Structure 1
Amino acid sequence: MAEGLALAASIAAILQITNSVISVCHGYGAAAKDAPWELVNAEMKSLRNVLQTLQPLAEQAEFASPSAGTHLPTLALLCGPRGLLNCCLDEVRRLDERLKNPSWSDSFGPKKKAFIQALRWPLNKAETMKVLDDVSRYRNILNLAITADQTTLTLEIQKLSISTNDIVLGTQRDVCLINDLASDMHADVQSTKSITLGIQLGMEREKIHRWLSAGSPDPSTNQIRASRSRQANTGLWFLKSETFTYWKASSALVWLHGKAGCGKTVLSSTIINAVLQEPQSKSEIGVAYFYFDFNDVEKQKSDKMIWSLITQLSRQSKKKLNKLEALFSFCNNGERQPDVEGLLIVLKEVVEGFDETYIVLDALDECSDREELLERMGEIQGWKLRQLRMLVTSRWLIDIKESLEPLTEPRGRICIQSSLVDADILTYVRGRLQNDRALKRWRGMPQVQEEIETTLKEKANGMFRWAVCQLDALQNCHRLPILRKALESLPETLDETYARILRNISEEDSHDAIKILQWLTYSSRPLRIEELAEIVAVNINGSPWFDHTARFPDQEDVLAICSSLVAVEDVSIKEDDSEDDKYLLQRQYGSTLVNPIQVVRLAHFSVKEYLVSKRIRDQAAATARYAIREIHANQSIAAACLAYLLHFNQHDSLTSQTLEDFPLALYAAEYWLRHIREVGKDLGPVEMLSQEFCLVHREAFINWYRLRDPERLDQGCNLNRQIARIATPLYYGSLAGVTQLVQLLLKNGADVNAQGGRYGNALQAASPEGHESVVQLLLKNGADVNAQGGYYGIALQAASWGGHESVVQLLLKNGADVNAQGGGYGNALQAASPEGHESVVQLLLKNGADVNVQGGYYGIALQAASWGGHESVVQLLLKNGADVNDQGGHFGNALQAASGGGHESVVQLLLKNGADVNAQGGRYGNALQAASRGGHESVVQLLLKNGADVNAQGGQYGNALQAASHRRHESVVQLLLKNGADVNAQGGQYGNALQAASHGGHESVVQLLLQNGADVNAQGGEYGSALQAASEKCHESVVQLLLKNEVNVNAQGGY
């Protein structure tokens, strides 16, 4: 029983410390809610769940002898001195020690101790991510081990010696496969190998999926909402149509168009569900969709649509997505966002990865950059991919028509007319009459029900939305005479319907209704019902800024005021949501939110369209007063946000209860600057409130910073945020590009050159996003154009990085030093180069930029442009005297940078201009190793053709073969071996290629290397041998392969 006890004891020890870490994290959470400890806490709880599942199994297991039959053999292997359980124990113990409060704080009271705890969160972002990755890896392997044991897998990792049947199973490094059981369990081994490979691939891609999810809006909320709105058996006219069959059978584009309110969005959800529910005869079918949404700014942009499609399809794909991995790498492993061109390249790759790929895009007319969207759709259709089936919906608009007609055949263009949807409208009306609680009163009167059905069907004119509003209005008809009178006087159009609803709002509620509609029309994100209810109690004139007594006694009263113009939907954190999706929702709405939350929105796009139209302004005064102008709405929202924040004007205004007691606090803190920016020149009441907030009530300003640091929005609310890092109001106004606020603050004596903030000063803060009018204003008021400090060193570098030519021109005109050194990119020319801002590069060169000046991450501008693959910029720099072999920077030289990025045309250009193909230096030693690491086969071929030394030593991996082996680029490994790569060459992090491949768990690469003469017992590198490398990472299939090739299980070495 010794080993069973060891296993149970190991699990118990890890459980004990895991509970300690969870307890400590709760302590941090009590001090202040913030992302790092919440993420660590969640991951530790997941680990605890797995351990609690294992504990009773381990206590019952018997490991007396192999012949007796083992219950948990794979888990037993993890108990060795360097086994996974001990590694996991060490990891959680280190984490526990790092997170605990210092002993000297024991004498403090609970409040002070909590304050200290919040101040000293000891892990930076990188360390936090490493903890999450490590713990997640341990948890995944434990789950794998459970799966292995459930299939009675008895693969062992090493064998110290072979003796009798009574020998107990050894540790991870001390046993080998039991040969007499292997043949009987071959099928189980193969099954578990597949599981292992799946977990390995999943872990490698999880970081990429997290990155994609973080930048991609979730369209599933729209899909769920539209599906719930659908009445059973509606939309069948299309599903049974020839067009639907034609769409599924070809690579054609289909365009469904119709007037506002005809049911396009619900029909889109019906089509999506139909595709998802069809039996899949093909092995690979991908389905993705996107709803452009007037209620959500993030769902109005074409680049977000592409990003969302990639996110959905990449999660469904089982194939290795090389271009997606390359894009992730190019974006500094997810540290920055990709450009649209990069996204389109990846989208093409993921679409091609399926036998059939279905894409449905709803409401193109609600896209804010429709011109770009239509261009990109043309480009996508221009790929002529046999796999692609795209269907889109929109209103009939001239620009959409002119763009889509050339891309569609006549049978692929369907106008949703009254004749097509009348039956659906009737089905909907009947469903409401049967199931709507307020309309059930007529159930016992079939003749009256038929009267309602007939009237609404005849007058709907193909508009679902019109029928919905009329049924909502009929809910209030309690007697038959009143009902019949209402049916006789139904409004004919949606405009008339909305005007009638507005006129029916009581005089007492009209002021509140105007506010509610303004917020719902122009809020920067969807609002919770609790947030929306707060606005009626805000007093922009002060005394007090917020009146508790003016709140609605019942928050849902806010919905009753606006009737059918608004709708509520539940937004839930689902179990299968990514951690980033959960965190984003919690960051936006507060970590204490109840699940699900109720979000209020305008009920339909036609409502917003009517409220902002000239048509409502031409109505009688009783209706026209509800007309909404964008500037006035943003003025009203900005004023309310500032007044709400001014309510927290005392040092102790913020408590752990604040976000619960004041639901609008997070919205006001995050978006007040954005709304002021949209106001224009006339600030109106916002001017007085801005002065109060920025210049008079310092504590309110500090408390805003605690609620939301505008430079670290990802960190959420932190009531204990150190105010030593707070910058000036002028700085934050410049950062947000709020010209009116900057002008107001300068007029009131703000120090234009005050230091502070991530960018050092206001001028640099305004430059990376190209806020030209703010830059001009700051310079006019004495800003030092060459002031040093901050992330970019000086403002010129910041503007150059952003590619803002007019701002660069303005700074140079005002005396900016074109060769000033400092900042992350060293100088302005280098900052402009990696993003391919050719016109800015040209402008800087024209103004005397030194093309070969050293400094920054990339060393020189040529290396930066080469890494980005910007051929025209590389050509421009070379033409202006850039040294093609200049050494320095992360990649050592331009050729290595271009090779690592896989930019074949740039590599060709550099070689043509005399680049030394074997130049040494940089992280990867030489260009060939950089290209091999990235798996860029065509670049590897090109370098070899131009004389690259296939066995050149240096860099992280020692040689190109080791780099390709560790990254599982089998075709590159084959190419290198074919060109004379020494399969046993020593050096680098892993000592040799076989150890590198074994460490990565790449069985096929290990097999290839062994077939080409790799020494299975070669010593060296971090782990000493290939067997130790594979064992350390629990790659059972690789261990099995090495054992079959007579590896020495007793070999010593490694760390």
Structure 2
Amino acid sequence: MDHLRASKLSQAIKDDTGAIRTHVSAIESAVNKVQQVQVTATQRILLEWISSSDYPAQQSDTIKRRQEGTGQWFLDAPEVAQWLDDAKTTLFCSGIKGAGKTMVAAIAIDQLLDSAQIGAYGVAYVYCSYKSQADQDIVGILAAILKQLVQGRPSTIRPVEELHQKHAGRGTKPTLVDIYSALRDVLAQYPYVHIVVDALDECQKETRRQLCKKLLDLQKGTDVRLMVTSRFVPDIEDAFRLASRLEVEASDEDVKQFVVGQTHRLPGCVQRSATLQKLVQDSVVEAVGGMFLLARLHIDSLSGDTTAKEVKSTLTTFSKGAAALDDAYSEAVERIEGQRAKHCKLAKNVLTWITFAKRPLTTAELCCALAVKPGEAEFDPENKPDVDDIVSVCAGLVVVDQESAIIRLVHYTTQVYLEHISSRLNPDGQLKIAETCLTYLSFRVFESGSCATDEDFEERLRQHEFLDYAAKHCGEHTRCVEAKVAHLVCTLVTHSGILSCAAQVLLVPSYKYRGYSAHYPALTGLHWIARFGLCDVAKEFLRRKEGEICAVNAMDSNGDGSLIYAVKREHCAMAKLLLDKGADVNAQGGCYVYARGGYYCNALEAASSKGHEAVVKLLLDKGADVNAQGRFYGNALQIAAYAGNNKVLEHLIEKDSISQLQDPYNRTLLWWAAAGGQTTTVQVLISQYKYDSRIADKFGRTPLWIATKKGHRAVSELLSEECGPTDPGQTASPDHSDDSGSIQCDVCTSSIRATDFHYHCRHCFNGDWDVCEDCRIRGAFCAEETHVLVKRTIIDGSGLR
């Protein structure tokens, strides 16, 4: 008996102990989750600062539309298994338009996210879009990947913190070098990372070229497993010619599964008849030719039928081959035009807005835009249509992404088709869009001008949901029809309050920091007009001014004239108009711009940096001074060499034939080209212009030295053959901190890490002049030798004279 009691007692103790362990484990898990939430909360600002993208929302929307049972062929493919398991592999998935490539990407991402333990390996992805090309440049895409990888493992956030320390206080943006370096550092902290890029063909050609190069370069040094989807585009196929390939095509079984899953959307006569259901399934599968998009459009085309005979008749109209997609779109437009007049008008306005919008629109923005009536002074919310009604009248051509609240066309081919028929669909569509934007910006509520605080500014954007779009893109829409709306624009930009409100929204930094909403220049109406290249509007505006020359040379609060605004955005016709009206071709920009990251002192320097050849030729013909000194890059010649804009450089050298031209620090054009890593420019300067590669700056630094220091291997190898064995560059070694430093030395362009001592001038260039310790030892000073340099670090802000 005692033995039995002891046994029971022992078992009870064990049970209690096990229960306690379970509770402790649960408590620890809960604590970890709380800590993770707290970490996420404290780091959210940094991650939003580095990238405002929200691809997880798009992933959620896409995977929700997956029909159960489809796409399994992809997961079962040996090429996918190899990509998942093998180090440094690349999987290139090509396919025809509408084949389901985006869904395949979403399925791959979903599989990765489901399989990954928190932080065990990295997962990042990008959905490229024809509608987001302005935001999806190389910096934006890499920043989005960086953001997701840090979110997956918050302990890797240090490189992002360093970038924030470098840029946030100045209001500048991280450069490509900054983002690439930070991404490389974060990748090194993962055992391996999967990166998925969908619809690479929808990026601009130069962006995708750069992206391919950067991702493949990252793959050389770290275990990056890359998957890319695209249509059959020659330059993309060539970039991934060595990758494992898998063609995406909607299988008959997947299409059938899709149709079965859409039965609830078919007419009641089909839902009640198994025979009709099979007929629909067989007809759609036969017609689509491996194109999921076409299957979806065919299902939509049956929605208006009410009898079995009508359904069978519609099935006989399904075309095949190359014209099938256009035929399906044409049929959808016919259904739109067959609706009641009000519904037809609403549908055409919706399609016009989405087709010609400069970026994706949210449902709230579109509803506001549709509610604006010409001539009204206030917004009437009772004019707003319902989102469900908007979708229902568009015959399946429009969808809403629920997570992001983006309303978009069903496919990018829809955009191409609607652009093609726009003159028939809505002849005055562009004019209506421009008038809507101008009317909205002119509302009485905005006459009070800009907001004084960040909180007030953000509250204004929340309350007025169309303001962000209207302020940022009004000018672009106006350019298409400017002669018809010139009077409206002039009225808008001559009202100081409305102009101030619009300028604040247009020009404030997209990255938020304390006081960011005040960091924009106060400008004149002509600055706004010049920024968008509105020549007809400018003529009308100047006709209303008594002193044309004063108007064209008026400066914004940064000290920039309208000419600089036109030149920066390559509006050559606008620049010519301003110069013909008396703009000073050699006007120097103000100082404050440098505190915000600008480096252009004059129009020629800005055009040379951007590589705007036609604008550079115009400015030179108008007497622009090639040797006018800027700041960081010296003059236009040096900035063109640094940027590798060889055609521009050729025009500039023709105007200034000074051999071996040097700046105040004795840096030649060859030195600057080497510092920028411009191999072709270095070759041209040596072979065509006979530049001497052995000429050093005043601190003894040769082009080979700076190229080696900054890690430009190709340039170093080229110059190494040109220079003698005594060149100091032969013994130099790359300074890897150049890629991840916190600020840049204004003398040698090398980076200064956050913990390194450097020398700072509080006066030169509005307190934005920094010299690294090495340059200071060699005698470097600031632009004015009477100033005092303060020795300090970035992190602790200490100052030692």
TM-score, normalised to structure 1, is: 0.54
Give CA deviations for 1:552-590 in whole Å, capped at 9, x if unaligned: 464543222213111112345xxxxxxxxxxxxxxxxxx
Give CA deviations for 1:71-119 in whole Å, capped at 9, x if unaligned: xxxxxxxxxxxxxxxxxxxxxxxxxxxxxxxxxxxxxxxxxxxxxxxxx
Give CA deviations for 1:707-737 in whole Å, capped at 9, x if unaligned: x2436565799999799x6322211222334
CA contact (8 A) 1:531 1:664 kept: yes
Q: Which amino acid aligns with 1:264?
A: K
1:248 aligned residue: 84
Give CA deviations for 1:978-1022 in whole Å, capped at 9, x if unaligned: xxxxxxxxxx879xxxxx9xx99xxxxxxxxxxxxxxxxxxxx98
CA contact (8 A) 1:211 1:334 kept: no
Distance 1:717 1:626 in 2: 47
1:238 aligned residue: 74
1:810 aligned residue: 618
Aligned Cα root-mean-square deviation (Å)? 5.6
1:694 to 493, 499, 506: 493
1:733 aligned residue: 529
1:664 to 466, 475, 479: 466
Give CA deviations for 1:754-774 in whole Å, capped at 9, x if unaligned: 222434211223333443332
Distance 2:620 2:298 in 1: 63
CA contact (8 A) 1:611 1:627 kept: no
Output aligned runs, 1:643-792, within 5 Å.
643-648=439-444, 651=447, 662-677=464-479, 679=480, 683-695=482-494, 699-705=497-503, 708-710=505-507, 712=509, 726-749=522-545, 750=548, 751-790=551-590, 791=593, 792=600
Q: Which amino acid aligns with 1:794?
A: N
CA contact (8 A) 1:612 1:627 kept: no
Deviation of 1:220 (Å) = 2.4
Deviation of 1:207 (Å) = 9.5
Distance 1:633 1:444 in 2: 43
Q: 1:509–1:243: structure 2 CA closer, same or farther, 3 Å change rule?
A: same
Is the partner of 1:262 in helix, strand or coil?
A: coil
Is the partner of 1:531 in helix, strand or coil?
A: helix
Deviation of 1:497 (Å) = 2.9
Give CA deviations for 1:764-815 in whole Å, capped at 9, x if unaligned: 2333344333222221221112223424443233334434454344333322
1:463 aligned residue: 291
Distance 2:544 2:570 in 1: 25
Q: 1:306–1:261: structure 2 CA closer, same or farther, 3 Å change rule?
A: same
CA contact (8 A) 1:258 1:416 kept: yes
Q: 1:882–1:730: structure 2 CA closer, same or farther, 3 Å change rule?
A: farther
Is the partner of 2:696 in helix, strand or coil?
A: coil
1:551 to 371, 383, 394: 383
CA contact (8 A) 2:156 2:186 kept: no
Is the partner of 1:562 in helix, strand or coil?
A: coil
Q: 1:894–1:431: structure 2 CA closer, same or farther, 3 Å change rule?
A: same
Aligned-residue identity in percent: 26
CA contact (8 A) 1:529 1:556 kept: no
Deviation of 1:450 (Å) = 4.4
Distance 1:866 1:212 in 2: 29
1:290 to 126, 129, 144: 126
1:884 aligned residue: 696
Distance 1:379 1:768 in 2: 26
Is the partner of 1:516 in helix, strand or coil?
A: helix
Give CA deviations for 1:199-248 in whole Å, capped at 9, x if unaligned: 9x99999998566425xx44323322210110222101121123323443
Q: 1:529–1:414: structure 2 CA closer, same or farther, 3 Å change rule?
A: closer
Distance 2:426 2:467 in 1: 27
CA contact (8 A) 2:509 2:516 kept: no
Is the partner of 1:756 in helix, strand or coil?
A: coil
CA contact (8 A) 1:832 1:841 kept: yes
Distance 2:352 2:134 in 1: 19
Distance 2:158 2:673 in 1: 22
Output aligned runs, 1:412-811, within 5 Å.
412-414=245-247, 416=249, 421-433=251-263, 446=274, 449-476=277-304, 493-505=324-336, 506=339, 507-540=341-374, 542=375, 544=376, 548=380, 551-552=383-384, 554-571=386-403, 598-613=405-420, 616=421, 625-626=424-425, 634-648=430-444, 651=447, 662-677=464-479, 679=480, 683-695=482-494, 699-705=497-503, 708-710=505-507, 712=509, 726-749=522-545, 750=548, 751-790=551-590, 791=593, 792-811=600-619
Give CA deviations for 1:376-417 in whole Å, capped at 9, x if unaligned: 53785588849444333233456655x2684356xx242515
Distance 1:373 1:797 in 2: 27
Q: Structure with the greater relative contact order (CA < 8 A, sep ≥ 6): 1 or 2?
A: 2
Distance 1:320 1:473 in 2: 50
Q: 1:649–1:689: structure 2 CA closer, same or farther, 3 Å change rule?
A: farther
Q: 1:301–1:813: structure 2 CA closer, same or farther, 3 Å change rule?
A: same
Q: 1:843–1:504: structure 2 CA closer, same or farther, 3 Å change rule?
A: closer
Is the partner of 2:584 in helix, strand or coil?
A: coil
Is the partner of 1:407 in helix, strand or coil?
A: coil
- Structure 2 stretches of 5 or more lacking a match? 1-26, 594-599, 742-755, 761-790
Q: Which amino acid aligns with 2:51?
A: S
CA contact (8 A) 2:450 2:500 kept: no
Q: Which amino acid aligns with 2:400?
A: V
2:749 aligned residue: none
Q: Which amino acid aligns with 2:615?
A: V
TM-score, normalised to structure 2, is: 0.69
CA contact (8 A) 2:710 2:736 kept: no
Distance 1:372 1:663 in 2: 30
Q: Which amino acid aligns with 2:247?
A: I
Q: Which amino acid aligns with 2:474?
A: W
Deviation of 1:349 (Å) = 7.2
Q: Which amino acid aligns with 1:570?
A: Q
Distance 2:740 2:372 in 1: 59
CA contact (8 A) 1:546 1:647 kept: yes
Q: 1:916–1:225: structure 2 CA closer, same or farther, 3 Å change rule?
A: same
Q: 1:862–1:683: structure 2 CA closer, same or farther, 3 Å change rule?
A: same
Q: 1:807–1:901: structure 2 CA closer, same or farther, 3 Å change rule?
A: same
CA contact (8 A) 2:51 2:140 kept: no
Deviation of 1:659 (Å) = 5.1
- Structure 1 stretches of 5 or more lacking a match? 1-149, 152-191, 573-597, 618-623, 918-926, 938-952, 958-987, 991-995, 1001-1020, 1024-1053
Q: Which amino acid aligns with 2:577?
A: L
Q: 1:932–1:340: structure 2 CA closer, same or farther, 3 Å change rule?
A: closer
Q: 1:745–1:896: structure 2 CA closer, same or farther, 3 Å change rule?
A: farther
Is the partner of 1:568 in helix, strand or coil?
A: strand
Distance 1:395 1:384 in 2: 23
Distance 2:78 2:679 in 1: 48
Distance 2:193 2:712 in 1: 28
Is the partner of 2:396 in helix, strand or coil?
A: helix
CA contact (8 A) 1:238 1:244 kept: yes
Is the partner of 2:399 in helix, strand or coil?
A: strand
Is the partner of 1:785 in helix, strand or coil?
A: coil
Distance 2:127 2:561 in 1: 40
Distance 1:380 1:650 in 2: 45
Distance 1:711 1:800 in 2: 25
Deviation of 1:601 (Å) = 0.9
Q: Which amino acid aligns with 1:559?
A: V
Distance 2:694 2:161 in 1: 30
Output aligned runs, 1:788-937, within 5 Å.
788-790=588-590, 791=593, 792-821=600-629, 827-829=635-637, 831-832=639-640, 835=643, 837=645, 844=652, 847-848=655-656, 851-854=661-664, 868=676, 879=691, 884-886=696-698, 901=710
